[in-house]
Amino acid sequence: MSAMAMVPLPIHIRHALRAGALPPRHKDPFDRLLVAQGQLEGVRLLTADEQFRDYDVQLIWAA
Protein backbone atom coordinates (compact mmCIF):
# COMPACT_ATOMS: atom_id res chain seq x y z
CA MET A 1 0.00 0.00 0.00
CA SER A 2 2.79 2.45 0.70
CA ALA A 3 3.88 2.41 -2.95
CA MET A 4 0.53 3.96 -3.83
CA ALA A 5 0.57 6.42 -0.91
CA MET A 6 -2.51 4.85 0.62
CA VAL A 7 -3.09 4.43 4.31
CA PRO A 8 -5.93 2.61 6.08
CA LEU A 9 -8.62 4.83 7.54
CA PRO A 10 -9.89 3.54 10.88
CA ILE A 11 -13.59 3.76 11.67
CA HIS A 12 -14.30 6.11 14.58
CA ILE A 13 -17.52 6.74 16.46
CA ARG A 14 -17.86 10.14 14.76
CA HIS A 15 -18.00 8.33 11.40
CA ALA A 16 -20.74 6.02 12.63
CA LEU A 17 -22.74 8.91 14.06
CA ARG A 18 -22.49 10.89 10.81
CA ALA A 19 -23.45 7.80 8.78
CA GLY A 20 -26.51 7.33 10.96
CA ALA A 21 -27.52 10.97 10.45
CA LEU A 22 -27.24 10.84 6.64
CA PRO A 23 -30.45 10.65 4.63
CA PRO A 24 -31.07 7.02 3.64
CA ARG A 25 -30.74 7.66 -0.09
CA HIS A 26 -28.33 4.74 -0.28
CA LYS A 27 -29.65 1.57 1.31
CA ASP A 28 -26.22 0.09 2.05
CA PRO A 29 -25.06 1.16 5.54
CA PHE A 30 -21.41 0.49 4.67
CA ASP A 31 -21.64 2.87 1.72
CA ARG A 32 -23.17 5.53 3.99
CA LEU A 33 -20.22 4.96 6.34
CA LEU A 34 -17.83 5.60 3.43
CA VAL A 35 -19.70 8.83 2.64
CA ALA A 36 -19.45 9.90 6.27
CA GLN A 37 -15.71 9.23 6.30
CA GLY A 38 -15.28 11.16 3.07
CA GLN A 39 -17.16 14.12 4.50
CA LEU A 40 -15.45 14.19 7.87
CA GLU A 41 -11.93 13.39 6.71
CA GLY A 42 -12.05 15.49 3.53
CA VAL A 43 -11.12 12.60 1.27
CA ARG A 44 -12.51 11.71 -2.14
CA LEU A 45 -14.27 8.41 -2.76
CA LEU A 46 -13.51 6.25 -5.78
CA THR A 47 -16.78 4.80 -7.04
CA ALA A 48 -18.91 3.80 -9.99
CA ASP A 49 -22.07 3.87 -7.85
CA GLU A 50 -24.45 6.58 -9.11
CA GLN A 51 -26.17 6.82 -5.70
CA PHE A 52 -23.11 8.51 -4.23
CA ARG A 53 -24.00 11.60 -6.28
CA ASP A 54 -26.92 12.17 -3.88
CA TYR A 55 -24.52 13.04 -1.05
CA ASP A 56 -22.28 16.02 -0.42
CA VAL A 57 -18.96 14.23 -0.81
CA GLN A 58 -16.08 14.53 -3.26
CA LEU A 59 -15.97 11.73 -5.82
CA ILE A 60 -13.61 10.19 -8.33
CA TRP A 61 -15.60 8.33 -10.99
CA ALA A 62 -14.39 4.84 -11.80
CA ALA A 63 -16.85 4.17 -14.61
Q: How far is CA 32 from the centre of its chain?
A: 6
Task: Give domain status of residue 1, yes or no.
Answer: no
pLDDT tens digit sequence for 13-51: 999 999 999 998 888 999 999 999 999 999 999 999 999
Task: Give domain status of residue 29, yes or no.
Answer: yes
pLDDT of residue 1: 47
Measured CA to CA, the distance from residue 32 to residue 38 in angstroms comes to 10
Neighbours of 35 (CB within 10 A): 25
Task: Give domain status of residue 5, yes or no.
Answer: no
Task: Give domain status of residue 42, yes or no.
Answer: yes
pLDDT of residue 63: 77
Measured CA to CA, the distance from residue 48 to residue 18 in angstroms comes to 22
pLDDT of residue 58: 96
Measured CA to CA, the distance from residue 8 to residue 22 in angstroms comes to 23
What's the total number of domains in the chain?
1
